[in-house]
């Protein structure tokens, strides 16, 4: 019981009560917190759905085929991360690096789509300043985009360390955390794609097809 | 105290904790509104998700393919004029399924320490609950006035 | 961000050398020791307490007579906005954080929190965020939209200038600090407990911190989003709250109170934790109904999410919604009552010693009950239509915030002061402090009940002579100054006691929890031996093991002694090295936020600082690889 | 110990202060919520008192226990007291008792909510639109086609439904003696109903923080007998007393047309003036929005029959010659920060008015009242 003689490494990785990793716990708690963050934005979007007083309206702007492609890319990048983590744990470094690179590329493709989409929207007059739809749409998607970009930076940083030989199966947890974050960003997009794109693009111009979205 | 004890005492094979009536004791099947169905579906769930311990890449691929398929269905649904009236519930349902798949399998909640699930699920419950309430309130502002 | 603990350490070039000395300003700037961080939290937020208090006193001076014109309406609006914001975000929350920092590792038997550098980050972000918000006084445009900043009055259309922009940005920066701290304490409490310290053996203060942290982590992001939207509206021309574009002011109210009500429990739960530690100590009895107290805390934390619209009874939600929120609000009285009665039962049959800390705790029960009961009268929504936005509300929330949170915090300060500093505070001055504060507090806020019921709205800078409000207002002003006087006594007490240095033993109060089993002030590594915990109030039963057999009467002297640190080989105990990076990130964030108001150049500089700090941080080893000693 | 006794005394004082306060509902307290004159405020008061007395009982129990404990269980010797960890039965008891109390409070409360918030039949009620502006109240009687400002006239014993809106920021519509408040929210139409049982003048007050003049945003409610109300309506539809050519009032009229009428209407007694006034108020608002800093036009109170009003400056000052002169000279001397002071060109350009001109305008404004001045009786007090 005495720790007197033992060197106690008091760093960011001692766990003496539950046996789970501090960092991973932190990550999950953070994701829980992020749920509320995105929840509020999504709540805003839904509350303001069909409330814009002027155009451009969602069905004039949203381009489902293109977004479907970018959605698909992001979805598959989730697979990539999970495989990268898996191979890293098994010390299959080549495969791990391969998937990590692929994920980064897919993330960049997704961001590319978003940049394209934003400029396109701005072109046809759909800006955050244009109307309520613009404000709610852009804040939500751009903050999601910010999360993705941050994720990309993080993964690049990890990839660099993988090449340097600092990231090995011993500390695969570092990649796993980034993976958790990445998956989370992905599930947020799953919701966004369903609510902001598919449902919203189906809204008609006269507000309120459904009883619970009608103005009061 | 004994009333309390009776109320909370668990005997019977139902999933709620109400003491059996005489009638129910005689015929346990009556207790379960869904009969065997719940039990079977639980078994089925365990069966398809039994990746206990470590999952293999093939397994991840399978999940990814399911996710991709659901997405295709989503977009298809959106495109079919005749299904539009069910768009909202359908999208909510599909995204929920995808959400759960990613969280449970890609993010390993299903295999990992319970603690993580507890944390995340608590947050999800509070979040979903309050934002739904919030949406209801904004939709029905002034109700009954 | 994670740190790479691989065999070969990758590090970015250091611009400043890693601080190594263990004293002086550089040490304080780079420290990651939870105790030092707690102290800094305490000092800074006490400073803001005085600032917020001075703002309040100016308000009181202006209101002391009818048709007073000492303070202009513009200034008055700034004063109450900043008073409310300061007291909530820069005083009660960080003061609680000071206690979290100091006590949580000690109470659960750990050497530090789970993420010491993240902890330092919280501190610095808080400090610079608070400065950021108060810079607005010097630009002449302090925020003036009230502490809940209702639009449209706070939108750029009706409130041009930078005041409210400072306010939202300040809140967002502070939010980052709180969330980081909340996450840290969640992990610390779950994961860093000493062996044997099960959840249900944790001290109640730790429990309340845990619940508070969960609330923080879930509630602050909501405020963050509200802040982002408001910033968007004010700076970038988005339309969230612009009523001309269809934006809905009610919507802000929903999200603000969705955050705001959990927030008030964030303010009070730590206070309840503090009181739950003090009462048993000085009654020399275990806390009555530990389980009930813990669970009622958790239930309060949960139910607090479903009551927010009681702040909106008059905005026209309609009778259906009002009914629902009336009922949910009233229900909270039940778990709160459980706590009150359990505390009373703790005292019942005890052997009570009236130290200052104890007096403040008993005062807390007495005053918080009043505030809680007036809260229940608010919950009755038809009559709340008469009370909403009157001084009756002001009375309610000062009773819970001052009579609750601040009283408990003062109690906590007197209680743990010896542990923090190693010397005792003067008890006679302490009791004087308590008496005057009690008188002043009631003189100040009790008449406000009456004022509100007599129709005095809040946030008015003056009132007419014929309204019949003068006497009560005058009393309130006198009370306000009495409070200030009592605070002054506290400050004097600190200085006098510091000079007279009556040294404290490790366990001066014959207390119960682990922090008292080590010397005062604790060594920087806290515990020589990580304790093995076997009971709730483990230290108490280590001292009086025969109590476990249930024979209290014979007990006269303690059987265990405070840990001896005289011959500890400190080189065996490794603590994390200092780090500047949290400081840089903190500064960077605030600079970036300031840049949103003034220029993109500042934003860029700020973000570069943040980015550099993060990279440096995540590549910096917790301990410098070469062997060195403290 | 001394401190406990002092706390005891103070708790008593608090209690006494409150009960004392409850009893003293004298006319000097024009916004007292206890001096009720209508069913809504009555329900609200009774509910409050009901809850209050229950709270007092809980208060006495808790504080009594504290006092008892602090006297009874002071430390007398070093013996440890009995170490009691809890008692499930007791704890359940004091969970259930508050729950019962809550139910007792909740039942009348829920009834109260529906009683006060469900609108009565529109058939036998009069409907009024109240609009909040920064910083004055506009009152419209759509069925009577009458507009007025800062002074609401109502008949006794008649249900009143108020449609509550706001043009700019949040305000709140509150007449403490008649009914609790309802917020005025842009883009939302809220409703409030009440009834006044006794004729008289009641104070109204904006209760939602709405900017710099919030403290000074008040209004008066004048409750007439049914007959008096008809009289007033009649008066609002007749032109004011004629003024003789060349008199001070006549000069004042000309000055008013030149300097004030872009913001203030004062001829809404005319036929079909109602819609015109609504439109021009809207146009003024649009005008202000175009150039918020420098616009010379803002929405402003309708001044028809201003001479018959009880107050000037949104319910702040008695409506008499000195005060009107003071107001026109410099609104800031009464209310700091008004739109009138900030936007009217008489203050912001070199079109300054001389003292004499101001007096003439004041005289003119005060002469604006119908022949059958229904307010005469109220002006006395
Ligand atoms: C520490 C902070 C704190 C705490 C703990 C509380 C606790 C409570 N509050 Fe308060 N509240 C505020 C801070 C707080 N509040 C603030 C800051 C505002 C104003 C914000 C603003 O507008 O600026 C506010 C405003 C506010 C309102 C809105 C008023 C209005 O604007 O119209 C309401 C309405 O329901 C309310 C209710 C309650 C209730 C029911 C509780 C309950 O939790 C109280 C429960 C406690 C007890 C009841 C006492 C002990 C119990 C017993 C002894 C048991 C027996 C009792 C009974 C059976 C009744 N509060
Ligand atoms: C924890 C929270 C807290 C605390 C402790 C206080 C403390 C005080 N509050 Fe506070 N108050 C709020 C939270 C708080 N308040 C909030 C949230 C609002 C709503 C704001 C809004 O409407 O937006 C509010 C509003 C509010 C109002 C209503 C304003 C209005 O609506 O117009 C008033 C009026 O009297 C008031 C008064 C006071 C006073 C006199 C104190 C006193 O207790 C202060 C005590 C004095 C001091 C602490 C002074 C310190 C010591 C010295 C000066 C000694 C000298 C120093 C040295 C020598 C170094 N407060
Ligand atoms: Cu209008 Cu306050
Ligand atoms: Cu609340």
Q: Is B1 on the interface with D (CB under 8 A)?
A: yes
Q: What is the DSSP string of chain A?
A: ---SSS-EE-STT---SS-S-HHHHHHHHHHHHHHHHHHHHHHHHHHTTT--SSS--HHHH--HHHHHHHHHHHHHHHHHHHHHHHHHHTT-HHHHHHHHHHHHHHHHHHHHHHHHHHHHHHHTT--TTT-HHHHHHHHHHHHHHHHHHHHHHHHHHHHHHHHHT---GGGHHHHHHHHHHHHHHHHHHHHHIIIIIIIHHT--SSS-SSGGGS--
For chain D, the distance separating the N- and C-terminal CA atoms, rounded to the nearest angstrom, is 54
Inter-residue contact D308 to D235 (CB < 8 Å): yes
Number of domains in chain B: 1
Q: Which of C522-531, D135-144, D179-188, D198-207 has the lowest mean pLDDT?
A: C522-531
3-state helix, strand, coil in chain B (%, to 5): 70, 0, 30
Higher pLDDT, A166 or D56: D56
D29/C455 Cβ within 8 A = yes
Q: Is B58 on the interface with A (CB under 8 A)?
A: no
Q: How far apart are CA C584 and CA C587, in angstroms?
A: 5
**Token pair for A213:** 């979205």
- D108 exposed, middle or buried (CB, 10 Å; 0-12, 13-18, 19+)? middle
What are the residues facing C565 on neighbouring strands? none
Q: Is the CB of D137 under 6 A from ligand 3?
A: no
β-pairing, D190-194 vs D179-184, is unpaired
Residue range C180-200: mean pLDDT, rounded: 90
For residue C305, the CA-to-ligand 4 centroid distance in Å is 10
pLDDT digits (tens, 9 = 90+) for C192-206: 888 888 888 899 999
In a domain, B46, yes or no: yes
Q: Give the neighbours of chain D: at least 3 Cβ pairs within 8 Å.
A: B, C
pLDDT digits (tens, 9 = 90+) for D141-176: 999 889 999 999 999 999 999 999 998 899 999 999
Nearest CA in chain C to B115: C190
Q: What is the DSSP string of C535-572?
A: STTHHHHHH-GGGGGT--TT--S-SS-PPP-TT--GGG
Name the range with the highest mean pLDDT among A110-114, A160-164, C502-506, C581-585.
A110-114
What's the predicted TM-score (pTM) here? 0.91
Residue C309: band (very low, low, confident or very high) from pLDDT cuts 50, 70, 90: very high
pLDDT digits (tens, 9 = 90+) for B55-92: 677 778 888 888 889 888 888 888 777 777 777 888 88
Beta-carbon contacts of residue C239 (< 8 Å; ≥ 6 apart)? A129, A131, A132, A134, A135, C233, C245, C246, C247
Q: Is A141 on the interface with C (CB under 8 A)?
A: no
In a domain, B90, yes or no: yes
In a domain, A3, yes or no: no
Nearest CB to B144; choose among D89, D118, D188: D118
Q: How far apart are CA A60 and CA C370, in angstroms?
A: 57
Ligand that comes closest to the CA of residue C458: 2
State residue D19's pLDDT score: 54
CA distances from residue C323 to A208, C259, C379, C443, D117 in whole angstroms, order as listed: 27, 21, 10, 35, 11
> What CATH number does residue C88 fall under?
1.20.210.10
Q: Is the pLDDT of residue D119 over 60?
A: yes
3-state secondary structure of B137: helix
For residue C53, the CA-to-ligand 2 centroid distance in Å is 5
In a domain, B145, yes or no: no
C537: left (phi over 0), alpha (psi -120 to 50) or beta: left
In a domain, B8, yes or no: yes
pLDDT digits (tens, 9 = 90+) for C341-395: 999 999 998 899 999 999 999 999 999 999 999 999 999 999 999 999 999 999 9
User: What residues have their beta carbon closer than 5 A to ion ligand 4?
Assistant: C 261
Q: Indicate which residue's Cα is closest to atom 1 of ligand 3.
A: D171
Q: Is the pLDDT of residue D347 over 70?
A: yes
Neighboring chain A residues of C237 at a CB cutoff of 8 Å: 128-129
In a domain, C151, yes or no: yes
Nearest CB to C376; choose among D55, D169, D176: D55
Q: Is the pLDDT of residue D22 over 60?
A: no
Q: Is the pLDDT of residue A142 over 80?
A: yes
Nearest CA in chain B to C307: B130
> Nearest 5°: phi and psi at D126?
-100, 145
CA proximity to D153, closest of D37, D94, D231: D231
Q: Is the CB of C436 under 6 A from ligand 2?
A: no
DSSP code of residue C16? S
> What CATH number does residue A94 fall under?
1.20.120.80
For residue C51, the CA-to-ligand 2 centroid distance in Å is 9
Q: Is the pLDDT of residue B20 over 50?
A: no
Shortest alpha-carbon distance between residue A173 and chain B (Å): 13
Of all helices (H) and strands (E), which one includes residue C59? helix C34-63
Inter-residue contact A128 to A135 (CB < 8 Å): yes
Inter-residue contact C428 to C485 (CB < 8 Å): no
In a domain, B144, yes or no: no
For residue C376, the CA-to-ligand 1 centroid distance in Å is 6
Neighboring chain B residues of C321 at a CB cutoff of 8 Å: 137, 140, 143
3-state secondary structure of B32: coil
Q: How far apart are CA A1 and CA A25, in angstroms?
A: 26
Q: Is B134 on the interface with C (CB under 8 A)?
A: yes
Residue C559: band (very low, low, confident or very high) from pLDDT cuts 50, 70, 90: low
What are the residues facing D317 on neighbouring strands? D312
D89/B145 Cβ within 8 A = no
Q: Is the CB of C261 under 6 A from ligand 1?
A: no
State residue D244's pLDDT score: 82
Beta-carbon contacts of residue D303 (< 8 Å; ≥ 6 apart)? D149, D264, D265, D266, D365, D368
Q: Is A54 on the interface with C (CB under 8 A)?
A: yes
Q: Is B116 on the interface with C (CB under 8 A)?
A: no
State residue B37's pLDDT score: 58
User: How many residues belong to chain A?
Assistant: 216
In a domain, B107, yes or no: yes
CA proximity to A29, closest of C541, C102, C179, D46: C179
CA proximity to B60, closest of B104, B107, B96, B106: B106
In a domain, D357, yes or no: yes
Residue D80: band (very low, low, confident or very high) from pLDDT cuts 50, 70, 90: confident
pLDDT digits (tens, 9 = 90+) for B106-115: 877 666 777 8
pLDDT digits (tens, 9 = 90+) for C506-549: 888 989 999 999 988 888 888 888 888 888 888 888 888 888 77
Share of chain B above pLDDT 70, in %: 58
CA distances from residue A98 to A78, A102, C279 in whole angstroms, order as listed: 14, 6, 61
State residue B13's pLDDT score: 38
**Token pair for C159:** 């409130």
Cα atoms in the 13 Å half-sphere on the side-chain side of C54: 6
Bond from prior residue into C521 cis (ω within 30 degrees of 0): yes
> Nearest 5°: phi and psi at C572?
-80, -15
Number of domains in chain D: 1
DSSP code of residue C508? T
> Nearest 5°: phi and psi at A125?
90, 10
Residue with tokens 């304790």: C531
Nearest CB to D81; choose among C284, C315, C365: C284
Shortest alpha-carbon distance between residue C231 and chain D (Å): 18
pLDDT digits (tens, 9 = 90+) for A30-63: 999 999 999 999 999 998 888 888 778 887 788 8
Q: Is B127 on the interface with C (CB under 8 A)?
A: yes
Supply the range of the domain harboring residue A107. 35-203
CA proximity to B93, closest of C65, A194, C534: A194
Q: Is the pLDDT of residue B49 over 90?
A: no
Q: How far is CA D352 from the centre of its chain?
A: 33
State residue C134's pLDDT score: 93
- C382 exposed, middle or buried (CB, 10 Å; 0-12, 13-18, 19+)? buried
In a domain, D342, yes or no: yes
Q: Which of C80-94, D143-157, D162-176, D337-351 has the lowest mean pLDDT?
A: D337-351
Q: Is the CB of D101 under 6 A from ligand 1?
A: yes
Neighboring chain A residues of B69 at a CB cutoff of 8 Å: none
Sign of the torsion formed by the C-alpha atoms of C284, C289, C294 and C297: negative
State residue B24's pLDDT score: 46
Q: Is the CB of D119 under 6 A from ligand 1?
A: no
Tell which one of C83, C154, C395, C448 to mutate to probe ligand 2, the residue whose CB is within 8 A of the most ligand atoms.
Answer: C83
Bond from prior residue into A189 cis (ω within 30 degrees of 0): no
Q: How far apart are CA C533 and CA C108, in angstroms?
A: 9
**Token pair for C540:** 């108490």
Inter-residue contact C90 to C52 (CB < 8 Å): yes
Number of domains in chain A: 1
Residue with tokens 């802000």: C252
C183/A33 Cβ within 8 A = yes
Inter-residue contact C113 to C521 (CB < 8 Å): no
| pLDDT, averaged across chain D | 87
Q: Is C161 on the interface with D (CB under 8 A)?
A: no
State residue C8's pLDDT score: 46
Ligand that comes closest to the CA of residue C488: 2
Q: Is the pLDDT of residue D373 over 70?
A: no
Q: Is the pLDDT of residue B139 over 90?
A: no
pLDDT digits (tens, 9 = 90+) for C311-350: 999 998 989 999 999 999 999 999 999 999 999 999 998 8
| pLDDT, averaged across chain B | 69
For residue C385, the CA-to-ligand 4 centroid distance in Å is 15
Residue range B43-59: mean pLDDT, rounded: 58
Q: What is the DSSP string of B109-131?
A: TTTS-HHHHHHHHHHHHHHHHHH
Q: What is the DSSP string of D249-306?
A: HHHHHHHHHHHTTTT----TTSTTHHHHHHHHHHHHHHHHHHTTTT-S-------TTG
Supply the range of the domain harboring residue C100. 31-193+203-236
Q: Indicate which residue's Cα is closest to atom 39 of ligand 2.
A: C56
Q: Is B144 on the interface with C (CB under 8 A)?
A: yes
State residue D77's pLDDT score: 83
C 232-251 near A (Cβ less than 8 A): 232, 236-240, 245-248, 251
State residue C481's pLDDT score: 95
A36/B127 Cβ within 8 A = yes
Shortest alpha-carbon distance between residue D198 and chain C (Å): 19
Q: Is the CB of C56 under 6 A from ligand 2?
A: yes
Q: Is C187 on the interface with A (CB under 8 A)?
A: yes
In a domain, A22, yes or no: no
Nearest CB to B99; choose among A180, A187, A214: A187
In a domain, A29, yes or no: no
Neighboring chain C residues of A138 at a CB cutoff of 8 Å: 238
In a domain, D157, yes or no: no
For residue D171, the CA-to-ligand 3 centroid distance in Å is 4
Q: Which of A107-121, B19-33, D207-221 has the lowest mean pLDDT?
A: B19-33
For residue C74, the CA-to-ligand 3 centroid distance in Å is 14
């Amino acid at each position: 019981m005495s720790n007197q003689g033992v060197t106690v490494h008091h760093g960011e990785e001692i766990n003496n009560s539950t046996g789970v990793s501090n960092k991973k716990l932190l990550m999950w708690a953070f994701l829980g917190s992020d749920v509320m963050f995105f929840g509020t934005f999504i709540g805003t979007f839904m509350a303001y759905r069909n409330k814009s007083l002027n155009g451009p309206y969602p069905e004039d702007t949203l381009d489902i085929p293109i977004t479907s492609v970018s959605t698909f890319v992001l979805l598959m990048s989730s697979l990539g991360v999970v495989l990268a983590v898996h191979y890293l744990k098994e010390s299959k470094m080549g495969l791990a690096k391969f998937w990590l690179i692929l994920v980064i590329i897919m993330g960049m493709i997704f961001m590319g789509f978003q940049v394209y989409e934003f400029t396109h929207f701005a072109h046809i007059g759909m800006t955050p300043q244009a109307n309520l739809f613009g404000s709610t749409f852009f804040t939500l998607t751009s903050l999601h985009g910010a999360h993705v970009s941050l994720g990309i930076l993080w993964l690049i940083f990890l990839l660099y360390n993988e090449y340097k030989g600092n990231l090995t199966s011993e500390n695969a947890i570092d990649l796993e955390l980034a993976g958790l974050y990445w998956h989370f960003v992905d599930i947020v997009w799953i919701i966004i794609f369903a609510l902001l794109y598919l449902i919203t693009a189906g809204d008609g111009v006269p507000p309120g097809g459904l009883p619970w979205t009608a103005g009061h | 105290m004994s009333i309390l004890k009776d109320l909370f005492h668990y005997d019977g094979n139902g999933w709620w904790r109400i003491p059996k009536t005489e009638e129910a004791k005689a015929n346990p099947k009556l207790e379960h509104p869904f009969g065997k169905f719940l039990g079977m579906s639980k078994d089925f769930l365990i069966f398809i998700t039994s990746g206990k311990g470590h999952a293999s890449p093939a397994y991840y691929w399978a999940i990814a393919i399911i996710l991709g398929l659901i997405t295709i269905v989503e977009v298809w649904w959106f495109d079919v004029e005749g299904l539009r009236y069910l768009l909202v519930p359908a999208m909510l349902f599909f995204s929920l399924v995808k959400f759960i798949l990613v969280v449970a399998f890609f993010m390993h909640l299903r295999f990992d320490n319970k603690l993580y699930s507890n944390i995340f699920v608590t947050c999800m419950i509070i979040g979903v609950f309050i934002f739904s309430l919030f949406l209801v309130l904004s939709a029905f502002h002034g109700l009954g006035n | 961000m994670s740190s790479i603990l691989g065999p070969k350490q990758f590090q970015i070039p250091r611009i400043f050398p890693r601080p190594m000395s263990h004293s002086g300003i550089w040490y304080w700037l780079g420290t990651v020791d939870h105790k030092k961080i707690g102290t800094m939290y305490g000092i800074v937020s006490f400073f803001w307490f005085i600032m917020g208090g001075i703002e309040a006193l100016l308000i009181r001076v202006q209101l002391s007579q009818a048709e007073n014109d000492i303070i202009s309406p513009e200034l008055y609006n700034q004063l109450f906005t900043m008073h409310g914001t300061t007291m909530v975000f820069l005083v009660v929350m960080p003061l609680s954080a000071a206690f979290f920092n100091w006590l949580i590792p000690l109470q659960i038997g750990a050497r530090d929190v789970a993420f010491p550098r993240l902890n330092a980050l919280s501190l610095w972000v808080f400090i610079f965020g608070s400065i950021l918000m108060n810079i607005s006084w010097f630009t002449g445009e302090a925020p003036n939209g009230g502490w809940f900043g209702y639009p449209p009055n706070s939108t750029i259309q009706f409130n041009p200038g930078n005041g409210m922009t400072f306010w939202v940005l300040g809140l967002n920066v502070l939010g980052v600090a709180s969330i980081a701290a909340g996450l840290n304490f969640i992990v610390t409490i779950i994961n860093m407990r000493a062996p044997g310290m099960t959840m249900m053996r944790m001290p109640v203060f730790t429990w309340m911190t845990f619940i508070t942290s969960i609330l923080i982590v879930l509630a602050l992001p909501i405020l963050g989003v509200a802040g982002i939207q408001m910033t968007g509206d004010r700076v970038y021309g988005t339309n969230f709250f612009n009523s001309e574009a269809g934006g809905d002011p009610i919507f802000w109210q929903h999200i603000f109170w969705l955050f705001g009500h959990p927030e008030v429990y964030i303010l009070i739960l730590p206070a309840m934790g503090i009181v739950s530690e003090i009462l048993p100590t000085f009654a020399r009895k275990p806390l009555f109904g530990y389980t009930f107290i813990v669970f009622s805390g958790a239930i309060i934390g949960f139910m607090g999410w479903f009551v927010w619209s009681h702040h909106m009874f008059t905005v026209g939600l309609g009778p259906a919604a009002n009914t629902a929120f009336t009922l949910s609000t009233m229900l909270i009285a039940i778990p709160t009552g459980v706590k009150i009665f359990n505390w009373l039962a703790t005292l019942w049959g005890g052997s009570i010693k009236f130290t200052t800390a104890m007096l403040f705790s008993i005062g807390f029960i007495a005053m918080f009950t009043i505030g809680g009961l007036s809260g229940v009268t608010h919950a009755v929504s038809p009559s709340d239509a008469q009370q909403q936005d009157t001084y009756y509300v002001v009375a309610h929330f000062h009773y819970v915030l001052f009579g609750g949170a601040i009283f408990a915090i003062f109690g906590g300060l007197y209680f743990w002061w010896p542990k923090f500093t190693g010397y005792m505070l003067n008890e006679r001055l302490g009791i004087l402090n308590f008496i005057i504060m009690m008188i002043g507090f009631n003189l100040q806020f009790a008449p406000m009940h009456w004022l509100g019921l007599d129709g005095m709205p809040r946030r008015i800078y003056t009132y007419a002579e014929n309204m019949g409000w003068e006497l009560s207002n005058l009393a309130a002003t006198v009370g306000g100054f009495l409070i200030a006087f009592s605070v002054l006594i506290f400050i004097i007490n600190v200085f006098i006691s510091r000079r007279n240095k009556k040294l404290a033993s490790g366990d001066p109060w014959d207390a119960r929890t682990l922090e008292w089993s080590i010397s005062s002030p604790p060594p920087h590594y806290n515990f020589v031996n990580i304790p093995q915990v076997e009971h709730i109030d483990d230290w108490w039963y280590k001292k009086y093991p025969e109590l476990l057999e249930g024979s209290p009467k014979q007990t006269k002297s303690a059987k265990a002694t405070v840990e001896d640190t005289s011959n500890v080989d400190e080189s065996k105990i490794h603590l994390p090295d200092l780090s500047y990076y949290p400081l840089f990130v903190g500064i960077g964030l605030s600079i970036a936020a300031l840049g949103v108001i003034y220029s993109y150049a500042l934003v860029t500089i700020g973000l570069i600082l943040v980015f550099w700090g993060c990279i440096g941080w995540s590549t910096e080893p917790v301990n410098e690889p070469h062997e060195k000693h403290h | 110990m001394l401190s406990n006794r002092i706390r005891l005394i103070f708790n008593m004082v608090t209690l006494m202060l409150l009960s004392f306060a409850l009893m003293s509902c004298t006319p000097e307290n024009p916004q007292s919520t206890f001096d009720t004159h209508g069913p809504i405020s009555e329900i609200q008061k009774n509910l409050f008192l009901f809850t209050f007395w229950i709270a007092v009982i809980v208060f006495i129990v808790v504080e009594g226990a504290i006092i008892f404990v602090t006297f009874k269980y002071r430390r007398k010797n070093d013996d440890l007291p009995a170490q009691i960890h809890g008692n499930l039965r007791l704890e359940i008891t004091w969970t259930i008792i508050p729950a019962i109390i809550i139910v007792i409070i909740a039942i009348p409360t829920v009834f109260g909510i529906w009683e006060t918030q469900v609108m009565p039949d529109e058939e036998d009620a009069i409907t009024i639109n109240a609009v909040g502006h920064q910083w004055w109240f506009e009152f419209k009687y759509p069925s009577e086609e009458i507009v007025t400002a800062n002074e609401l006239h109502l008949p006794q014993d008649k249900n009143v439904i108020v449609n509550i809106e706001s043009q700019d920021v949040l305000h709140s519509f509150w007449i403490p003696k008649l009914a609790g408040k309802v917020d005025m929210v842009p883009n939302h139409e809220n409703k409030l109903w009440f009834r006044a049982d006794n004729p008289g003048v009641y104070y109204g007050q904006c209760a939602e923080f709405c900017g710099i003049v919030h403290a000074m945003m008040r209004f008066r409610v004048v409750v007439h007998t049914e007959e008096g109300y008809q009289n007033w309506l009649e008066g609002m539809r007749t032109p004011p007393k004629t003024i003789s050519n060349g008199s001070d009032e006549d000069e004042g009229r000309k000055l008013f047309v030149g300097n004030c009428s872009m913001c203030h209407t004062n001829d809404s007694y005319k036929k079909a003036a109602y819609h015109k006034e609504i439109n021009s108020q809207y146009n003024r608002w649009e005008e202000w929005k175009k150039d918020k800093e420098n616009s010379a036009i803002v929405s402003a109170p309708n001044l028809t029959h201003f001479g018959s009003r009880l107050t000037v400056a949104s319910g702040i000052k008695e409506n008499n010659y000195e005060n009107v002169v003071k107001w026109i000279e410099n609104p800031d001397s009464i209310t700091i920060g008004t739109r009138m002071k900030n936007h009217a060109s008489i203050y912001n350009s070199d079109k300054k008015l001389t003292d004499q001109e101001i007096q003439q305008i004041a005289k003119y404004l005060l002469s604006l009242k119908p022949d059958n001045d229904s307010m005469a009786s109220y002006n006395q007090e």
